[in-house]
Amino acid sequence: MSGRVVVEPFLRAVPVTKSDTTLITPSRGIMASGGTELAIAFQDGSTVILTNITPGYIYPVSVVKVLATGTTATDIIAFY
């Protein structure tokens, strides 16, 4: 093996509504077009707030929630 990493393309993108309770299918990436903070939850229940996010950048994280509390980002898209 040459050590190459094969990255599969995303197959779909779905708009996400911020919610502290609603779960989404675990994503392969998340993006926002506006705002500066993105509060996310992982499958293990841990949470983090990404600050000073870059609009339009796809963050390669698998999240199950985009939390309303702590999120100023807008136009959020989950990639699968």
pLDDT (tens digit per residue) in 23-49: 999 999 999 999 999 999 999 999 999
CA-to-CA distance for 5 and 40, rounded, in angstroms? Answer: 26
CA-to-CA distance for 23 and 43, rounded, in angstroms? Answer: 10
pTM for the structure as a whole: 0.89
CA-to-CA distance for 80 and 75, rounded, in angstroms? Answer: 16
